[in-house]
Chains A and B, each alone.
Chain A
Amino acid sequence: MAASPILSYVTYLPLLGILPIIFIPQNNENGKGLIKSISLVTSLLAFVASLRIYYGFNEHVAGFQLVEQVQWIASYGISYFFGVDGISLWLALLTTFLTPITILSTWKAVEKRVKEFHIAVLFLETAMLGTFFSLDLFLFYIFWELMLIPMYLIIGVWGGERRIYAAVKFFLFTAFGSLLMLIALIGLVYFNFDATGKITFNLLELYNVRLPFFFEAMFFAAFALAFAIKVPMFPFHTWLPDAHVEAPTAGSVILAGILLKMGAYGFIRFAMPLFPDGSAFFSPLIILLSVIGIIYGAMVAMVQPDIKKLVAYSSVSHLGYCMLGLYVLTPQGVEGSILQMLNHGISTGALFLLVGIIYEKRHTRMISEYGGIAKVMPIYSTIFLIVTLSSIGLPTTNGFIGEFLILVGTFMVNKTAAVLAATGVILGAVYMLWMVQRVFYGKITNPKNEKLTDINLREFCYLFPLLVFVFWIGLFPNFFLEKMHVSVNSFIKQVKTESVTEKHAETQKALPKLTLNENIFSNPKNQNKILNFGE
């Protein structure tokens, strides 16, 4: 265990902020202001604390760092096990970076049940960080499910008109996937127990389990389904547009910026290395679905009349790139994919914030309601354009680096997929610029838009850091990639080498073994072990 459990500090700091918030009355303006301030300060502190993870991280060392491991439920082999590598490092930093921005953006937007809202957001931050740091499957599953509740509430309580439908849809989609994952998870632990005689939820130990091919494929499918819904991959994406449209701005930002990353992260951390053979077996299907997602998402985004829905569908397209890069298993592809997750968090997060700003002013997100607003909101329009360019991957912005790496990495092993995926780059320009044109250019046709005012200082403050990252990643991507190299290489090695080990021979051997041990309770040796669980 590390000298100071910095990962836990960062994870639970937001919870600490919730404590005072609970006791502040929200029936007057002062109380509300105090709640907001505490929430903002807490999230900022969490961000500052998370920088210590960055400085404590050594990019030359493979494996997990800043590890914290404490026995929790010893008899079931469950431990409180946190650790970080070059992949989760960036996703955790993205989380702590986006949360204060999100909180600042809700300053005026959320006036109803302020206290509960900030509790939900801070609670969500803890759950998300816990998910990224967990190295114990049991712990992971708890955090994974914990994320669901505040997000469900954020959509369902502070959302738009059809918020209940959207929240239930969101919940059922994700819960459905999670349940299958839980079954597979228990199955995996069982197989490990079967092979080693030891029950453990420790991810690093479970990495070594060899499963019969059939079960590996099935378990992978269950994990993959849970994560694919979260990503979301085509055709499991339909909850996303609804959730985004109905969610308040803050909800959309967290949803798009971080929660969607959980899916792809789940593939990297769990589904692929735990079940490399199953992953290899389904790999053509996943590549196909990713490419379909890229093109399909972009096409459907093009015809959306609602800006938020357009951005939501564009997420389907962008996350398709992430999945594609992951599954080609080249260093370029995987690093591009992780970088693209950060990019998507920054660019799409910024787009949702920007949409939120005009929504607050005009209470509509319909493209046709706008037109010509570049004239009255020049700074806003400029920022919107920069973010748009980053989203469509213009060189010197972050989007280019991610897409370029993914496409290069893909081209090296699968030319067809790369060529098809690259058409998404054209489509991205089509739907984004067409939307920009209809919203910002031309003459102001709707008199309601004439009195729109440009962004204020607060809004500029939370947009500016995002712009910095747009160009930081665009111009100096090595700063971010350097930390990933070792982790990504070992990830690829893990997934690749394991998947080529005499798959069929093992399947042959494993199957009869399974039938022998099927009746685990009748075997007195095993029964002994089972009885010992209780102690």
Chain B
Amino acid sequence: MENLIYLIPLFPFIGFLLNGILGNRFGKSFVTYVGCGTVGLSFLISLGLFFEILGRSPEARVLNQVLWSWIAVDTLSIDLAFMVDQLSVVMIMVVTGVGFLIHIYSTGYMHHDKSYWRFFAYLNMFVFFMSLLVLGGNYIVMFVGWEGVGLASYLLIGFWYEGMPNADAGKKAFVVNRIGDFGFVIGLFLLFVNFGTLSYGELFPKVAHAFESGALSMNSPLMIAACLLLFVGATGKSAQIPLYVWLPDAMAGPTPVSALIHAATMVTAGVYMVARSNILFTIAPTALMIVAGIAALTALMAATIGILQNDIKKVLAYSTVSQLGYMFIGVSMTAYTAGVFHLMTHAFFKACLFLCSGSVIHAMGGEQDIRKMGGLYKKLPITYITMLLATIAIAGIPPFSGFFSKDEILWKAFTFPYAPVFGKVIWFIGACGAGITAFYMFRMIFMTFHGEFRGDEHTRHHLHESPYSMTVPLMILAFLSVVGGFFGVPHIIGEQLGHFPNYFEEFLHPVFASSHNIIHHAVHATHPPVFVEWGLMGLSVLIAVTGITIAYNIYMKKYPALPAKLAEDYSDHYKLIYNKYFVDEVYELLIVKPFYYLSRFFWKVVDVIGIDTYCVNGPGKVIYQFGEWIGRVHNGYLQTYGSFVVVGLLVILSYILIIQ
């Protein structure tokens, strides 16, 4: 299997070429088979790799493949290389598996679109770059995927490019991501200059060795800088403060795109990158704490914005930003497994939620405002049930998947080895955010599916359940959202169930082993008693239930009177949150506008006036004027010449007479 790794990106790439070049001519069924088939094949190979890895002994679970030497100049040598280990195999299964389901779903969702072929070409292109990102054996191949998915995202957000806001949102996504990539690349340079390699297989052992031999101290400024720069890249790609602003706008793309790229896979690339670089982060606790702080703030802030969003996709978008914050809390609390576990469960339930919202939007004829919905559960039963299951999962109700993964993250935050008090602060913020999440997610469910229908008669008439091509992926994803958590059951629950192991942790352990060793040696962590863990778990559930109950009381019983009254009573706070803390406006005012005017100044003043008028045309004019002036002497009048002769004579004579 090792030699087949390259096929995973190759199939979608072929799909992209076929659909992009021939799709327009060969019709929809060709596009469907190529589009879905290639990703399906990639998924099968990913499965094959997974079983190959399972079949090997834990030490031999890293597969490598080098395609060709890509860039080689002097000491810099970068191969086009792949590496499949426990971490990347989990990721690639999620990417190709969820990706495949979303491709299937798209055949229904995009059925009537005139650019059906273009859509699948882009979607294939996305899977191609995403698999490069995940499978790359060095940071540069990861970066190829990293920028490539940004391109796919750009194209897909602006898929309906005739609407200017869509094209705008695509450009915003690309540019904001580029700002993040800028930091990422500088971080890579820093690593390269200091360690001479960017290949995982060489870099990580080198760093670990340098640390063990004492050449690299704990919290060295170099590692803090490198990690934070890498994290700048992650804030762009994975929508964290301050670069999260592109993701809500990215909802302008077709809904399957939101599900695949802006929820399940691409936006989690930052989490994957941090988990991949775990050894670097582990020896830079300050960087970890900064990441955790930003992640916790993001989780909380996005959750509060989610409360007041009325666009069903915007609710989910802010929820994604918030959940990504949880994943970063996980990896930054050195609970790398928990972060990746939440990444996986989130891919299931968030993809499900987005696809369900797509089904709702499909039924509503394009309407996305939940204030105009209501009572849809009768007309869309499958969508309703699957969405409800996924919502329970994200709210963190046991034994749904979200409960296990989110609780594990919060627990690891609570017991953060490097700074226990700081960890507890992060835990507190995370727990608050979890309550808000439960609240706004159920607000969305209640407003969409319950109560009276609030749309117009025409829309009501058209309400229908989606075709099987759309509902079957929903059911599979909902099933995974429900049971996905059992892969990673916490130890204390596992023991109660009769030594039920935490498969996920055991499987991924070798990837993070040296990090765990370092932490183990560096700090003597005290394990709080078991009842604390049980207590916190109970508290989490209680918080989630409280959130749901409040949502029920407000939106099932008192809607719309109470929300309206609350909005009036707290109008300042309401406006602040409703307008997303005016972050976009502040950026516009402080960065975009000044930058634009500075550029205009450079052009109109420095270039046109400063350089051209004064330095280029100026001397030219002076010379011209001088020529004009001198030219008057040669006017052809004998009198003039004569007078010059006389004046000259006088000058010479006076010179001789006076000086001598």
Whether B536 sits at the interface, judged by CB under 8 Å, is no
- Chain A interface size, as a band, is 35 or more
When distances are taken between beta carbons in the complex, the residues of chain B under 8 Å from A430 are 175, 178
A169 touches B616 (CB 8 A): yes
Known: A395-B144, A396-B144, A422-B182. A434 touches B171 (CB 8 A): yes
B158 touches A441 (CB 8 A): yes
The docked-state distance in angstroms from the alpha carbon of A478 to that of B77 is 10
CB < 8 Å: which of B171, B175, B599 contacts A299?
B599
A437 touches B616 (CB 8 A): no
The docked-state distance in angstroms from the alpha carbon of A489 to that of B75 is 12
When distances are taken between beta carbons in the complex, the residues of chain B under 8 Å from A440 are 161
**Which residues in B have some Cβ–Cβ distance to A below 8 Å?**
68-74, 76, 140, 143-144, 147-148, 151, 154, 158, 161-164, 166-168, 170-171, 174-175, 178-179, 181-182, 185-186, 189-190, 192-193, 595-596, 598-600, 602-603, 607, 611-612, 615-616, 620
A405 touches B73 (CB 8 A): yes
Identify the interface centre among A235, A331, A404, A440: most chain B CB within 10 Å of its CB: A404
CB < 8 Å: which of B162, B190, B596 contacts A372?
B162
A-B contacts besides A299-B595, A442-B164, 15 pairs, CB < 8 Å: A169-B616, A299-B599, A299-B602, A300-B603, A332-B73, A332-B74, A394-B147, A395-B143, A405-B76, A411-B189, A425-B181, A425-B182, A433-B175, A441-B167, A481-B72
The docked-state distance in angstroms from the alpha carbon of A311 to that of B130 is 31
A426 touches B151 (CB 8 A): no
When distances are taken between beta carbons in the complex, the residues of chain B under 8 Å from A489 are 74
Q: A440 — nearest CB in chain B belongs to which residue?
A: B161
Whether A118 sits at the interface, judged by CB under 8 Å, is no
The docked-state distance in angstroms from the alpha carbon of A335 to that of B73 is 8
Render A434-473 as a binary contact track against B, CB cut-off 8 A, 1 for contact: 1001001111000000000000000000000000000000
Known: A300-B602, A395-B148. A478 touches B70 (CB 8 A): yes
A304 touches B603 (CB 8 A): yes
CB distance from A357 to the nearest CB of B (A): 20
Q: B69 — nearest CB in chain A belongs to which residue?
A: A478
What are 6 contact pairs spanning A and B, CB under 8 A? A235-B611, A408-B76, A425-B185, A433-B175, A441-B167, A443-B164
When distances are taken between beta carbons in the complex, the residues of chain B under 8 Å from A258 are none
The docked-state distance in angstroms from the alpha carbon of A143 to that of B70 is 37
B161 touches A442 (CB 8 A): yes
CB < 8 Å: which of B140, B186, B603 contacts A418?
B186
Q: A481 — nearest CB in chain B belongs to which residue?
A: B73
B182 touches A437 (CB 8 A): no
CB distance from A312 to the nearest CB of B (A): 11
The docked-state distance in angstroms from the alpha carbon of A481 to that of B175 is 30
The docked-state distance in angstroms from the alpha carbon of A440 to that of B151 is 16
Tally inter-chain residue pairs, CB-CB below 8 A.
127
CB distance from B81 to the nearest CB of A (A): 14
A299 touches B73 (CB 8 A): no
When distances are taken between beta carbons in the complex, the residues of chain A under 8 Å from B600 are 303
B607 touches A300 (CB 8 A): yes
A419 touches B74 (CB 8 A): no
Whether A389 sits at the interface, judged by CB under 8 Å, is yes
CB distance from A334 to the nearest CB of B (A): 9
CB distance from A156 to the nearest CB of B (A): 17
Whether A364 sits at the interface, judged by CB under 8 Å, is no
A426 touches B158 (CB 8 A): no
Q: A173 — nearest CB in chain B belongs to which residue?
A: B616
Whether A365 sits at the interface, judged by CB under 8 Å, is no
When distances are taken between beta carbons in the complex, the residues of chain A under 8 Å from B602 are 296, 299-300
Render A102-118 as a binary contact track against B, CB cut-off 8 A, 1 for contact: 00000000000000000
Whether A375 sits at the interface, judged by CB under 8 Å, is yes
B178 touches A441 (CB 8 A): no
A422 touches B178 (CB 8 A): no
The docked-state distance in angstroms from the alpha carbon of A394 to that of B153 is 14
CB < 8 Å: which of B74, B164, B185 contacts A441?
B164
Chain A to chain B: the 4 pairs with minimum beta-carbon distance, closest first:
A441-B167, A331-B74, A395-B144, A299-B599
A395 touches B147 (CB 8 A): yes
CB distance from B660 to the nearest CB of A (A): 31
Whether A308 sits at the interface, judged by CB under 8 Å, is no
The docked-state distance in angstroms from the alpha carbon of A3 to that of B174 is 54
When distances are taken between beta carbons in the complex, the residues of chain B under 8 Å from A160 are none
Q: B608 — nearest CB in chain A belongs to which residue?
A: A238
